[in-house]
Chains A and B, each alone.
Chain A
């Protein structure tokens, strides 16, 4: 089974195609989507075991020799991200059954999600920089459909912004890849890493490094480039917001991490200082936004920014603790952001508004929702033993080891702001005088609770079970810090 590493990409793609034939039969679409995602998860878990046992898996498509064909590479970092992507998507899809509405379901909602997952998993797995661009396009085009699906006025306005920003960033991506190709003469990422090591990263390569930061930064939403994100992400319904917030920004973070650990590692004082400064500014911007808004969606969206800053700060330290922390925190953040978005989706469904000022006293009528939110909020802020703690601890350790006292203090302070911003939601929405609620369907509420509870439970397990998960995270960080193991696995000599 040398093709095993492709299964998490091919299976969602296959099911997306099959769904095209069942446009009107919503029931069949739902069942097929769940089957497809579950099968993909099973294969992804097998792949984790395989990577753990046999090391990095590579496959060069079409039986071409390695630097010439398109290589797909599964190291621990990418396979962990692939698995968490699939798990989150499965629960968001289950959540969609009762919340997205049949109108959207009949207009290619599930195929769009599966095509997007194909793109996301492909971008995580590919070992070819141009192929990464292609998979970015696959996920972006599917996300264009998802953001505009439903055609509400606000969605149409925001989707124009979203498409424009992403088309421009894609154009920059191609230009950057072309620059890079004209200098190193190869597109294979392992080969690029080796060639840059050979020529010792002259200034022009650092320029390309900054260009890549620009391209992926627009996608990830780092400091000056996040301007489009709060508006665009708030436009579509909550399940789509959850997918975008939990997955799409993380693809950008993955791409930055990969290129900044494999390519641009010979002038750390320049490239990684810029990365660190931008990461810290992202945290500050996110903190301001998270405290400034009274809108549930906006608060959590700005929390995405904070998390991205924290992860990239960990990456920029380039030491073992920082990198392990970044990997651990990245997966934690995918799980917890997915869960939080689903929970605020339920709160919006119950109260009929996303404005915190118009909520109150929910704990009296929806106690379980309140406690679920509190657990997720504590997890997000990183209160031990929940999952945010270990990642942040390692990142902070990495920061101090690297001597970045000031930056590390910013990270620590940001945790307090995160806690404050989510506790504010808890206080405003769950405490106080109950606001009269429109009657809502209790059964729908239960159906929506189910995936949210499981995602929160998974994130708690992820935190409590750190002892078992840590070897995998440590493997992932090891490959990131030691590019030669990646390069040797691909080029095999």
Chain B
């Protein structure tokens, strides 16, 4: 079924970046406000699914040439690594650390190790969701 998708495709190209940036915002908001790696990851997946709907599997694979299984692995390693970092300091597993830093442009910023853990979650969610969608969508 060949359809004329110009409107959808043009809108999708713009909307993708809006959703993606919003997902990053949600991701960073996560520590003190509602949001976080899981929701952010799902939003990013939503943006990629929009591209999948507007174009097709091959185009999206060419645009985002990641092996999403590896993305899951990297995400898991990041999360486990952050949690296991506490072993080095002989404090209970999952204990996180934070401190205030004077950063240029941002000013006084609170940095958390929980952030690294959350980015692992983000990668796992994106990797897993896209892998599922690709393998179901790619099945003839």
Is the Cβ of B95 less than 8 Å from the Cβ of A13?
no
| Residues of A contacting B: mostly | helix
A6 at the interface (CB under 8 A from B): yes
B80 at the interface (CB under 8 A from A): yes
Which of B70, B80, B91, B96 meets A13, CB within 8 Å? B80
Least Cβ–Cβ distance between A174 and chain B, in angstroms: 19
On chain B, the number of residues with a Cβ less than 8 Å from chain A's Cβ atoms is 17
Contact A17-B96, Cβ < 8 Å, known A2-B90, A3-B86, A10-B80: no
Q: How far is the CA of A398 from the CA of B63 in the complex (A)?
A: 68
| Residues of B contacting A: mostly | helix
Least Cβ–Cβ distance between B16 and chain A, in angstroms: 27
Is the Cβ of B93 less than 8 Å from the Cβ of A61?
yes
Q: Which of B44-77 contact A (CB under 8 A)?
A: 69-70, 72-73, 76-77
Q: Which chain B residues lie closer than 8 Å to A86 at the CB level?
A: none
A202 at the interface (CB under 8 A from B): no
Is the Cβ of A20 less than 8 Å from the Cβ of B72?
yes
Is the Cβ of B94 less than 8 Å from the Cβ of A61?
yes
Q: How far is the CA of A2 from the CA of B95 in the complex (A)?
A: 12
Is the Cβ of A23 less than 8 Å from the Cβ of B84?
no
A59 at the interface (CB under 8 A from B): yes
Which of A1, A14, A23, A61 meets B69, CB within 8 Å? A23
Is the Cβ of A17 less than 8 Å from the Cβ of B87?
no
B92 at the interface (CB under 8 A from A): yes
Which of A2, A10, A21, A63 meets B84, CB within 8 Å? A10
Is the Cβ of B77 less than 8 Å from the Cβ of A17?
yes
Q: Which chain A residues lie closer than 8 Å to B92 at the CB level?
A: 2-3, 59-63
Q: How far is the CA of A59 from the CA of B69 in the complex (A)?
A: 32
Q: Which chain B residues lie closer than 8 Å to A13 at the CB level?
A: 80
Contact A3-B93, Cβ < 8 Å, known A17-B73, A23-B69: yes
Q: Which of A32-52 contact B (CB under 8 A)?
A: none
Q: Which of A1-36 contact B (CB under 8 A)?
A: 1-3, 6, 10, 13-14, 17-18, 20-21, 23
Least Cβ–Cβ distance between B71 and chain A, in angstroms: 10
Q: Closest 7 interchain pairs by CB? A: A20-B73, A62-B94, A63-B95, A61-B94, A17-B76, A3-B87, A63-B92
CB<8 Å pairs between A and B, sample of 27? A2-B90, A2-B91, A2-B92, A3-B86, A3-B90, A3-B92, A10-B80, A10-B84, A10-B93, A13-B80, A17-B73, A17-B76, A17-B77, A17-B80, A18-B73, A20-B72, A20-B73, A21-B73, A23-B69, A59-B92, A59-B93, A61-B92, A61-B93, A61-B94, A62-B92, A62-B93, A62-B94
